[in-house]
Structure 1
Amino acid sequence: MTSRLRLVATCLLALGLAFVATGGSAPPLQPDLTESAELGLFDPGNIIDDDLFYNAGAMDAAQIQGFLVTKGSACSGDLCLKNLRQDTWSRTADQYCAAYAGRERETAAEILAKVSRACGVNPQVLLVLLQKEQGLIRTAEPTERKLRIAVGYGCPDTAPCDAQYYGFYNQLYHAAHRFQYYRANPAKFGHRAGVTNNVRYHPNADCGTLRVYIQNQATAGLYNYTPYTPNKAALDAGYGTGDACSAYGNRNFFSYFTDWFGSTQSGPASIDDKYTHLRASGVDLGGSTSRVTCDQPHGGCYRSYQGGTIFWSRDTGPHVVRGAILERYLSLGGPRLLGYPTGDDTAAPFGTGWYTDFQGGAIYWSSATGAREVRGVLLATWRAKNAQAGVLGYPVGGDEAVPGGFRTRFQGGTLYWSATTGARMLRGALLARYESAGGPRALGFPTRDDGPTRGGATVELQGGAIYWSPDTGAHVVRGAVLRKWRQWGAESGQLGYPTGGETAVASGVRATFTGGDVFWSSSTGARVLRGPVLQRYLAHGGPRVLGFPTTHDVAAAGGGRRAELQGGAVYWSRETGAHVVRGDILARWRQLGGESGRLGYPIGSDAATARGGYVTAFRNGTIYWSRSTGPKVLRGAILRRYEAHGGPGVLGFPTADEVSIRGGARAELQGGAVYWSPETGAHVVRGDILARWRQLGGESGRLGYPIGSDAATARGGYVTAFRNGTIYWSRSTGPKVLRGAILRRYEAHGGPGVLGFPTADEVSIRGGARAELQGGAVYWSPETGARVVEAPAARAYADMGGPASWLGFVTRDTRAVSGGRRTDFQGGHLLVTADGRVTAHRG
């Protein structure tokens, strides 16, 4: 519940008063707030709106997995979607879907999320398709066949399924791809948005058709995918069975989506949320008496209830209108005259009644007057004089001298006169602002009467102008800011009304408007910033940190916006939001193509890092900067590993851009390097371990790519694992290489924590191999495998000649026995007694 809604609800409860259509008290709070699909609200022309259908960001993989676990709680086994894993293959991008990077053993949730992102289809839509086609979400017994044709793609009513589309991943990708194909090629298909279509009830042509005006592409796509609309019997049956002419695909799509995810309409769906919030706060509007209807001006919607009506528009959101105020509002034409409500009904001052604010005015109610509307200049003047508690009346003062002229005050306003301007009228809020700003001494005299503007009022002055609207109040606009604002259409343009007077900031001026701000300095002139670009600019410190804008916010590639600043730039896109890019990072990013280049739009603003550097994150990578390294680019898995390992604070800054190498990629860092390959992923290699690995040929050498990142071990050392071996390091031993069976035996026996660190690289010896350790040694031969000899037996064994002696190779690790610790060899055994003596025994 928003704070505004909570306040309104609290007022209603405290006063014990709430309107209903008949003027009585509100019905009591109902305890049951559970929602389910109301098939009476199924609209065959608008099953789901485009914004919701194509919202690929509605759920991420973790949220999808949680959904699958919840809905599939009764399912067990590897074929359940919550447990399913499949190998996926990579697909290149085309005009309908972005590229898909295949991977082994992806979960069903990961596949759903990646297909959704690649093809721009809401993952909730794909989840519903899985249920309506094969029941895969709720089933307790999934089958290979159902998974093979998971969403029914390539399965026409009149022929067998096409085997080339078999497979869970394959089905999801082709279905999502197909919806984008429908979207891009509407004329190729039988069901099209924006025209009336004959939609069949059933595959049996004798069942007839329904003439449907399809309102949007998402609905057209659903009909092209499943070309039937439910008849009355199907709708009356809920999830059940209708009659012989009933088809259920699109009915079930609507039902499952509504039950699982809420309304199929993204904007107007907030009407239902408003109803729920009101009900939870004690304001129960009762049962609905209409469906959500979206036939109002400027795309607005409403839904009627027993106790009132909730109206919604994109600009105002949902608000409730009730009782006599609702009756008056509707009699005036509703939104067509007053616009949409901008707040819920509220107690009027002094306890005399109630009012509701609308975009074009307000409706006030009292028991004596009923409900009446007040608009424009009359509303402003009235409210400036205590609204319903005051009246406009007679003059209250005589002719008074003011600098350069005279004035006379009235109950409802003041007349100002000067020889050059004549007598001009000022009233209400305009008058109050004029006087508080210094009157004639600061602003000169009015040059015309105050008068109405679109939605408000204005007065022209010798030294500027004052503008007023019900939503913003009255504010002064002057000089270069006033000229620029009027170039943009003044109050009827994109900037709308002023919301504050000019304020000094840094070495210039800022003026705020409902649609943006105007900034001015002597070196940049007046520039306009709006929306998210403005918000980010201010949040990042505005002129004091970033300097003044040198351009207005202007179009950028891909439908985005940007603004150039003295100290950088702000870039915005719908997908990434608005972010600041500055300095050398900005220059490097633009060298790479800026928002149209490989890095794309920024997803984070310029930010300080550890060790005195800066970083800016972009959609497809990140640029790090320090004074000693300059701006360097990291991307993908290497970037994620770098950040996960502590970024600049642990590894220092990148010293070069990430580069491709044979079989993978590499990023050089002040404190090491990150290496990546498709098979091994990205891992950190540092210090002496990195130097030793590179001596051995690095990723092209015998050890190959790292399979684990630099990590601390017991006893103060470090270790890094590679595909074909591991390098251990300690301060006393340096970096040493272990591989294969010797490495596995060393780790299985406790590694550094038990045996200490290797004191030399593993070496080949006659008949096998050996690794010397601080706490012993590991020997290997084909016949005996790898075995541990602990000190001091290891020293005695080496002194005797090791495997070349009569003892041969070790056949069993050192272990505790009665009388000491024993190590077995091919030719005998060594026993270390409690006093440290080593004795050799044959046989």
Structure 2
Amino acid sequence: MPQPEPCYIHRQGEAVRAMTRGLREGDSVADATTFGGVRQRGRIIGILVATLALVAGLIAIPQQSSIAANGSDFDPGFIIADDLFYDGAAMSAGQVQSFLNARVPQCRAGYVCLKAYSQDTASRAGEAGRCGGYAGAPGESAATIIAKVGAACGVSQKVLLVLLEKEQSLVTDDWPTSRQYRSATGYGCPDTADCDAAYYGFFNQVWMAALQFKRYQANPGGWRHIAGRTVNVLFHPNAACGSGPVYIMNAATAGLYNYTPYQPNAAALANLYGTGDGCSSYGNRNFWRIYTDWFGPTKIGPQYFIEKTYRDYGAEAGVLGPAVTDIRSFTANGGGAVRGYQNGAIAWSAPRGAFAIMVAIRATYGAWGGVEGWIGWPASGANSISAHGGGTVQAFQFAAIASSQTGTWPIPNANRTALAAVGGIDGEFGWPMGENVCDAQSRCIQAFQGGSVYGRTGAAFGLPASIRAVFETNGGRTGAFGEPTSNPNRIEANGGGRAQGFEKGAIVESPAGTFAVTGGIRTAFNAAGGIGGVPGWPVAAAACDAGGACSQRFQHGSAFSSSDGAAWFIDERLAGEYAALRATLGKPTSGTNAIAANGGGIVQGYEGGAIAWSSTGGAHAITGVLRTQYNALGGIAGQPGWPTGSATCAAGVCTQRFAGGLMVSSAQRGSLVISQATDRYLAAGGPTGSLGWPTTGGIRFEASGGGFVQAFEQGAIAASASGAYVVSGGVRAFYNERGGITGPLGWPASEMTCDSAGTCSQQFQNGRIVWSPIGGGRVE
């Protein structure tokens, strides 16, 4: 025949200490409630709140020593975990006895508290799939009965203790009545009638309650409240109080609702240790509260978190659809649990939590071994990202899985870190284009829309497409660079750009382009201050000759390296001249020195000479014997001053323009500076021309308006306001006989002209000299 229902007590389910001794005997328990902090027993129907208040005032009410539970933590869909509820080995008889002793240290005189209660028990046959058999014995203590029933039925002794407390306050009552023992668990006590005498007795009550909970578990579809379903659960026996939908997450919660089919309303939860309002019920609230206060949290293990996540996704009516597997435990990757659904799965692990895995991400996850594979347990739900065409990303223990129009691919954690450092999927890299591919040396690469991530031995770095192109053009990780050692870093100096480091060099990108900086050039570049220092950003790729000597131009100069490993940086004002004459000049022997003399500029010395730069003359090398004699003449601070042109040499004779004039030099004859007569001297052929080698420096004369004269082997040049003119041959001799510059003729005013007969003439300030080989000279 059908099993009798347990005592619903208006389905509030906890009968506790009577309000007065006069109500204790023969009282038909119709409700269990709390009033003024102490749980009271009595019927709701016909008992007015005023009466309760009056009676409460007559009773000494012990205060709660502490409040462990909080009403905001109550979850109507998950009152207690199955692992806790159905743990038949939760407590031994000795542990139960110790627990009871602690609850009531001293029983009132004349009463038998639960800690001291005993009775003869009858043997009970087991019920397949529910409870095993029970071997009766004379004089068994309540603790023994609770322990043995729990073990036989696989129901936690803690649960049975809480049930006894919430139904009849037997655990904490220091003056219990026979009625409390008679209907200890409320079994066989329907709402509409008194308790069924067939189920009277402490042992009978404990046994039948445990068996009933196992019946609920074994035949879940045979009862109104079913795990894995959303059920409208009443708030109170009065239907006018309404109901609320509850997704019942597990068998234990379903069993508690089948035993006591009401959920607490907000008022009952707001006053967790007291009463709510006229529509409040307390049975399942008090079960949860008492268990929490006595034994700790009821939400343990994966079940709660998986089912809560499922509920958050809409439960059986949501996107995941109905469950298709039970919750299964796995030990891989630290352990956890998984439940499969029609359209996905939910996986839980500690400390990450429970997350749904769906659609393409689930397929890829499964293809890589799921929770037992290298990707591990989920660490977040799927997140939508709209950038670069849109898609979804989900984080896992050792990777993320990204799904977009480019495909669905795992991104290992090292790659995720590198990707995040360069802006993530929202940044220029975008979505992965394929899986992470590794070679036998564990060197890995994963392509993205806007670049690639290169990894090795747990570290990975992102190379944007522009930098990747230069990297691969130079042989990639087996070429000139080796492995990347950083992600690209933004640098604002010198106009801004970004740089990325490698084992053997760097690749830098600025508005001027993307260029490699490697080897000795990199050494010199860094020594000079790098991007933020004198060099600035590269503006061209490095160029190397067959001998291994290299150079590279930067914003503010050029770096050079030689085949022997030496390297140096040359200021931009000197770099062009140095590049042209590098073979002659060799390596620097000094830094760049600023000199203020004669208008100022900079000079740098080299093995084979020097380069001097001024704002008016530019940069020019000074080398060889010319440099030696230039220095002997005072150099920059002396008569020559700053160079204004490059040296030219022929037949051992060199000339070079300076601010102070043209310097003529040879190892045999020394050097002189042709100052005001420079252009005229060069027009005459210079040292190999008609005038020959200079024999004096420029000499100043103040006569006839002033000017300079410089003598040469075959003549002289006189420069005045009238111009610079050569005076040579017989005209020069006759001119000098007449006093020359200081004589009456004054300064020359034209070039000398000669005819085929050798007769020459030249105009001077104050006359013309005509000279012939036969007649000699005359003044006209």
TM-score by length of 2: 0.40
Q: Which has the larger radius of gyration?
A: 2
Higher relative contact order (CA 8 A, sep 6+): 2
TM-score w.r.t. the length of structure 1 is 0.38
